[in-house]
Amino acid sequence: MREITNATTEQLIKFTTFNGLYTDNLMHNLQNELKNEKASGKTKPYYRAYLNIVKRTAELINSLGIEDPFTKCSFFYYLLWLGIFSKDHTYAFTDKNRISNMSALGADIMLGKAACLNNSDMLSRILRATGTESYIIGCDVPDIKANPKIGAKATKEWQSITSKNQSSIKQSSLDLTALNFLDYGNHAISLFASKGMYYLADPTNLSFLSITDFLEATYVGEKTAAYLKPAVTLMLEDIDSKHFKDLVIKSFIYSDQPPLAADFIKYHSDLSKILLIQNVDLIDGFHKRNKPDIDIVCQTLK
């Protein structure tokens, strides 16, 4: 079991008691803020088309015998950046002119241009569809360019999705430590489970993170830190208050793993490359099968 310091104990107590901030009623109100927008989006053609693409991706992963969550993530990274989900078979990071509909955040990827929130939504959906527990989670990354080779950077634009909630909360008399739990950060990644422990995947930067302290993580092979913002999970995922609290606490206490080794990540990345090379025709056919749904998303996502 990871050693819990006095400072960490204080943080845990504040979180589990919500420090006068997190109440079931408040969490319910936060989730309801976006409920109507999510519900209206689920009636649109792009929503069903997006879910079809997610389902086929999960089926592809299963058909290739990919069971390890790290390989699932790495495989998704390559599909994403190779433009396999996109209309013109190209993909680029952008924080401009995104739609980010709440019911299908990852659908922007079909347009060929997306950002961290879109990428993490699709990854978490695919992981869940293959039987791996996963949720979007926000984080603050002071050194935001986690992977200069790709040049991808996170964006603060998506924070506007929940800015009304944050503004109203800041107007109340709450201490800054508690308020930190409702900060949204400047980046979005995916929390996922593997063999009873929790890890973090960053599809925008083709990276993984190890949880190193309560609500803190570090990029594998780098010194870049990320400070986790679980309010994003609460806002964007269908998760009840008890599960939400348990998830955040267990992701720290029960993820008593040593930091992920760069060689471990390279192994899963290399395995994903091999699978892609061995199944070029299958992947090409996969894009063609998805093309009608990709077109529907591009024509109807507004």
Are 207 and 111 contacting, i.e. CB atoms less than 8 angstroms apart? no
When the pLDDT of each residue in the chain is averaged and rounded to a whole number, the result is 78
pLDDT score for 157: 37
pLDDT at 199: 92
The token pair at 251 is 């992701």
How far is residue 213's CA from residue 238's CA, in Å, rounded to a whole number? 25
Asked whether the predicted pLDDT for residue 36 surpasses 90, the reply is no
Continuous segment of H or E residues that includes residue 201: strand 197-202
pLDDT digits (tens, 9 = 90+) for 43-97: 889 999 999 999 999 999 999 999 999 999 999 999 999 999 999 888 988 877 7
Report pLDDT digits (tens) over 194-210.
988 899 999 999 999 99
Query: How many Cα atoms are found within 13 Å in the side-chain-facing hemisphere of 96?
Result: 1
Q: Is the pLDDT of residue 20 over 70?
A: no
User: Residue 100 to residues 121, 179, 293: CA-CA distances in angstroms?
Assistant: 10, 25, 17
Residue 148's contacts (CB-CB under 8 Å, 6 or more residues apart) are none
Q: Which residues touch 51 (CB under 8 Å, ≥6 apart)?
A: 104, 125
pLDDT tens readout for residues 96-153: 777 878 889 999 999 999 989 999 999 999 999 999 999 999 888 876 544 433 333 3
Tell me: the pLDDT tens digits for 185-244? Answer: 788 999 999 988 899 999 999 999 998 887 888 899 888 888 888 777 877 888 776 787
Residue 220 sits at the vertex; the CA angle it makes with 214 and 224, to the nearest 5 degrees, is: 70
Banded model confidence at residue 16, pLDDT cuts 50, 70, 90: low
- What is the C-alpha to C-alpha distance for residues 103 and 107, in angstroms, rounded to an integer? 9
**Inter-residue long-range contacts of 54-63, CB under 8 Å, 24+ positions, other chains counted:** 54/106, 54/122, 54/125, 54/126, 54/129, 55/129, 56/286, 56/289, 56/290, 57/85, 57/126, 57/129, 58/126, 58/129, 58/130, 60/282, 60/286, 61/126, 61/130, 62/130
What is the pLDDT at residue 212? 84
Q: Which residue has the higher pLDDT, 93 or 8?
A: 93
